[in-house]
């Protein structure tokens, strides 16, 4: 076991972990941040997607000890994020979620997509979200929501840092 300090959603949290523990498990089990969901634990489904140093990252494919000293943002840390807020509204209006299990990872990836570029076509959005599985919606509402959010945020988004 080792004690590490993780910067999570702007707060430094000290936690004792085994080196083998994934960041996803530590966020969920030790820090009670359960908005990061686990759908496959091998990097394919995208449900656990979070941000590490501003980059979308599979929380199941990074050890907590690797994340020490890096800036971690989970869905819980995006309550007041303006781009996430726009996405949330459009997800709601476009019926872009059903069971809700994929939703946190989907939102984080969609936000990442918007922050990096302006997806102008449906194809861009679909490829950008290809690593985020949704088993309920068939993606149509999600794609509509992201395109609508892209439209709305084009003028307000800050360029990639």
Partner 1 sequence: MKPAPFDYVRAKSLGEALAALGDDAMPLAGGQSLLPLLGLRMASARLLVDIGHLDELRQSSATDATVTLGAAVTHAEIEDGRVPDPGHGLMRSIARKLAYRAVRNQGTIGGSVAMADPAADWPACLVALGATARIAGPDGERRVAVTDLIEDIYTTSLVPGEIIVSFDIPRLHAAAKTGTAKVMRKTGAFAMSFVVAVLHDGDQADRIVLAGAGRRAERLAETSDAVAAGMDEAALRAAVAADLAGLMDAPDDYAVRLHTAVVLRALAEARRS
Partner 2 sequence: MVEHAGGWIGASLLRKEDARHLLGAGAFVADLKLRGLRDVAFVRSDVAHGVLTAVHKPDDAATRVFTAEDLAWVNVLEAGPELAAFRSGPYPPFASGKVRYVGQPVAACVAQNRAHAEDLAERVSVEIDALPAVIDCVDALAPDAARLFDGWPDNAFITSRVTEGDPASLAAAPIRLHRRLRMNRQATVSLECRGIVAHYDARLDELVIHLSTQGPHVMRRGFAMALGLPEHKIRVIAPDVGGGFGGKNRMMPEELAIAAIAMKVPYPVRWIEDRREHLIASVHAREHVYDLTISADTSGVLLGIEGDVFVDAGAYALWPSGPFMETSMAARNLPGPYRIRHLDIRTHTVATNKAPLGPYRGVGRPGACFAIERLVDEVAHALGREPIDIRRLNMVTSAELPYDTAGGLRFDTGDYPAALETAIERIGFSAVRARQKTGEPDGRVIGVGIAFYSEQSGHGMAEWTKRKSRVVPGYESARVRMLPDGSVVIHVGVQNHGQGHETSLAQIAAHELGLDPDRISIRYGDTATAPFGFGTFASRSIVFSGGAVARSCRMIVEKLRLIGAHLLQATPDAVRIEHGRVLSATGSVSFAEIAAAASIRQELLPDGVEPLLEVVSTYEPTDSRGVFSYGTHAAVVAVEPETGEVEILDYVVAEDCGTMINPLIVDGQIQGGIAQGIGTALYEEIPFSDLGQPLATTFADYMVPGASEIPAVDIAHACTPALVTEYGVKGMGEGGAIAPPAALANAIADAFRDIGVRIDETPLTPRRVSDAVAAARSAHAAQPSEAAS
Partner from partner 2, partner 1, none contacting 75, C-beta within 5 to 8 A by type: partner 2
CA end-to-end span of the chain: 35
Range in contact with partner 2 (rule: CB under 8 A) among 3-11, 90-98, 113-121, 151-159: 90-98
Q: How far apart are CA 112 and CA 56, in angstroms?
A: 7
* 76: contact with partner 2 by CB under 8 A: yes
Residue 50: both structure tokens together: 């979070």
Which of 60, 77, 82, 83 is CA-nearest to residue 13? 77
Burial of 25 (0-12, 13-18, 19+ CB in 10 A): buried
Name which position in 11, 18, 53, 151 contacts partner 2 (CB under 8 A): 18
Closer residue to partner 2 in complex, CB, 69/138:
138
Sheet strand arrangement including 55-58:
11-17, 2-8, 71-73, 49-52, 55-58
4, 7, 13, 21: residue in contact with partner 2 (rule CB under 8 A): 21
**Residue 123 three-state SS:** helix
* 21-50 footprint of partner 1 as x/- string (CB under 8 A): -x--x---------------xxx--x--x-
- Beta carbon of residue 93, minimum distance to partner 1 (angstroms, whole number): 25
Helix (H) or strand (E) holding 24: helix 23-25
Given 23, 45, 86, 150, the residue binding partner 2 (CB under 8 A): 45
Residues that bind partner 1 (CB under 8 A): 18-20, 22, 25, 41-43, 46, 49, 52, 55-58, 60-63, 65-66, 68, 109, 112-113, 126-128, 130-132
């Amino acid at each position: 076991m080792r004690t590490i300090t993780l910067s999570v959603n702007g707060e430094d949290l000290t936690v004792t972990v085994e080196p083998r523990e994934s960041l996803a498990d530590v966020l969920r089990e030790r820090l009670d941040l359960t908005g990061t969901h686990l759908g496959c634990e091998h990097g394919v489904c995208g449900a656990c997607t979070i941000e590490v140093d501003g980059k979308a990252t599979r929380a199941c494919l990074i050890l907590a000890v690797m994340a020490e000293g890096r800036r971690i943002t989970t869905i819980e840390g995006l309550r007041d994020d303006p781009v996430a807020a726009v996405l949330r509204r459009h997800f709601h209006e476009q019926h872009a979620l059903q069971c809700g299990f994929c939703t946190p990872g989907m939102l984080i990836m969609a936000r990442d997509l918007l922050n990096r570029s302006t997806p102008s076509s449906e194809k861009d959005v679909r490829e950008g979200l290809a690593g985020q599985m949704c088993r309920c919606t068939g993606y149509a509402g999600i794609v509509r929501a992201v395109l609508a959010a892209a439209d709305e945020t084009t003028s307000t988004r800050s360029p990639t840092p």
